[in-house]
Amino acid sequence: MTSQALIEARQYEKLKEKEIPSEERPLFHLAARTGWMNDPNGFSEYNGIYHLFYQYYPYKPKWGPMHWGHAVSRDFVKWEYRPAVLAPDTDADSAGCFSGSAVTLDDGRHMIMYTGVIAGKEPGDKDMQVQCLAFGDGEEYVKYEHNPILCAENLPGHLSSFDFRDPKINREADGTYSCVVCGCTEDRDARILYFTSSNGTDWKFRSVLAENNGRFGTVWECPDFFELDGKAVLLCSPMEMLKDEKYYSGNGTMCLIGELDRENCRLVEESDSPIDCGIDFYATQTLLTDDGRRVMTAWMQNWDALQNDTTGVHWFGQMILPREITLRDGKLYQQPVREILAYRKDRIVYQNVPVKERTELVGINGRTADITVTLRAAEHGAYNEFEIRFAENNEYYSSFVYNRSQSLITVDRSLSGTRKAVVHTRSFHTAEHENELKIRMILDRCSVEFFINDGEQTASFTLYTDMKADGISFRSDGNAVIDIEKYTLSDK
């Protein structure tokens, strides 16, 4: 039976969505149908179609009691909204349906595993987080009558029952199930917990897959664990990180690569790196497509940098364009899903364009575009700084600056029209390959995603600049030379 809370959420989103003109949304990045969106949930392929659910508060463009919104796509690019599927309406999730994942059962049902939040009994008591199930057909989901299926009692001693969330379920080769869940000690030191199940409904604690031991922030939210190109990979989003050479302070993301010690079910770590170097990126989740691609999505926003002046805003929060991820030379590479190629129109190519003072090129502009700039120094002369300004007009612009002597990229959106004093600048180290830097940028109205050197690094940023600011210009302090390949992205 659909609960009153879910009926109301569905009525509300259907009504409110009509107030949002389609030009006010991204063209192909999934955004909240109405109100607020955070983490991607239940990213999965079911009955030949991709499902993407999300943390959702339909009633305001602000975080509130969490529901699950829902959208589907055949190609990761064009998304179609479906009615919300979960509302906080049972004893096991009365204070919110937090993040989780989805899998197809042998009997053909789609199963969601999510975190239920139970409010503390007395004022001042902490909430409890438990794991719950719901079964569905891609449209309607019924919560399991025996929820919760995992709670504090299933945890080994000294682990917190408050920070116990975000189950990511996997189907094993032998038909059994496993899942990783975010956990931590009482003093909030992350533990990634590994559970197993033979049927998907009865779960047993198996091991602590990975331990933080004070290295990277406190709690590691939204874990995802899978095999990629022969290695074991753990993606997660650490909270409260300290700044150092690689990471920024606040909420970050991290990719741990290593080997799985199968006997003890532990990740033997070999390397760590941030997943994305931009300001707006958090809470990744992946799926494996039928043709064997590991595709990742993420919330294109970050708790520490919310530009949440939401006056007059109908929706808030969007996802990245899903990315195909691979390992090359032990490093994570990310590329926009290949399906985006079908949306590329009006190819414009320039080669060997000298860039000194401000340079604009006919046809190189737009806010829905896929642009690759290959940058090098002129044969007789060098440069130190090279800049791309985008979403530019007389009033506003954002910039991408490459400082060659420091091997540093800095993206700055302080002049993008923002009135909020949150972080607007981000720098990260990079490397040229054969004296070239390759910069691919995907612009989609309210965002820009950079893919450096064929996806060796990525950086994602939201951009709430007036849509009329659609200029792009280049400049350098010496003799830079660029090749450009530009497409308009369009669904027409």
Of 115 and 218, which has the nearer Cβ to ligand FRU?
Answer: 115
CA-based R_g, the chain, Å: 23
Q: Which of 165, 168, 314, 475 binds ligand FRU (CB under 6 A)?
A: 165
Q: Is 212 in the site for ligand FRU (CB under 6 A)?
A: no
Distance CA 47, CA 106 (A): 13
Q: How far is the CB of 163 from ligand FRU (least distance, A)?
A: 8
| One-letter identity of residue 236 | C
Q: Please select the residue that binds ligand FRU; options are 34, 44, 55, 473, rule is CB under 6 A.
A: 55
Residue of 26, 27, 38, 168 that binds ligand FRU (CB under 6 A)? 38
Q: How far is the CB of 421 from ligand FRU (least distance, A)?
A: 22
28 binds ligand FRU (CB under 6 A): no
What is the SS3 assignment for 6? helix
**Region for residue 467 given its phi and psi (left: phi exceeds 0; alpha: psi -120 to 50; beta: otherwise):** alpha
Least distance to ligand FRU, CB of residue 129, Å: 8
Q: Which two tokens stand for residue 430?
A: 């990079």
- Tell the smallest beta-carbon distance from residue 100 to ligand FRU (Å): 8
Q: Is 66 in the site for ligand FRU (CB under 6 A)?
A: yes
Task: Give the nearer residue to ligand FRU in terms of CB position, either 277 or 283.
Answer: 283
Beta carbon nearer to ligand FRU, 44 or 115: 115
Query: Shortest gap between Cβ of 138 and ligand FRU (angstroms)?
Result: 22
Q: Which of 260, 182, 276 is nearest to 226 (CA)?
A: 260
Using the rule CB under 6 A, is 283 a contact of ligand FRU? yes
Instruction: Considering the complex, state which of residue 161 and residue 465 has its C-beta at the smaller distance from ligand FRU.
Output: 161
Query: How long, in residues, is the chain?
Result: 492
With binding defined as CB under 6 A, does residue 115 bind ligand FRU? yes
The two counts, helices (H) then strands (E), for the chain are 1, 32
Residue 87 lies near ligand FRU (rule: CB under 6 A): no
Number of residues engaging ligand FRU in binding (CB under 6 A): 13
For ligand FRU, give the closer residue by CB, 28 or 220.
Answer: 220
Question: Shortest approach of ligand FRU to residue 183 CB, angstroms?
Answer: 11
Backbone phi, psi, residue 9, to 5°: -60, -40
- What CA–CA distance (Å, rounded) separates 224 from 207? 15
Query: Residue 413 interacts with ligand FRU (CB under 6 A)?
Result: no
Per rule CB under 6 A, is residue 190 in the interface with ligand FRU? no
Provide the strand spans (E) within 318-433.
Answer: 323-328, 331-336, 344-355, 368-377, 385-392, 398-403, 408-412, 425-429
Q: Is 20 exposed, middle or buried (0-12, 13-18, 19+ CB in 10 A)?
A: middle
The residue among 62, 181, 37 whose CA lies nearest residue 114 is: 181
Q: Which two tokens stand for residue 464?
A: 């709430």
Can you tell me which of 13, 221, 339, 449 binds ligand FRU, judged by CB under 6 A?
Answer: 221
Integer Cα distance of 290 and 278 in angstroms = 30
Distance CA 378, CA 399 (A): 22
Task: Please count the CA atoms within 13 angstroms of the CA of 290 that sit on its side-chain side.
Answer: 9
For residue 166, state whether it binds ligand FRU (rule: CB under 6 A).
Answer: yes
Interface with ligand FRU, residue 99, by CB under 6 A: yes
* Nearest distance in Å: CB 199, ligand FRU: 25
Between 95 and 382, name the residue whose CB sits nearer to ligand FRU: 95
Given the rule CB under 6 A, which residues bind ligand FRU?
Answer: 38-39, 55, 66, 98-99, 115, 165-166, 221-222, 282-283
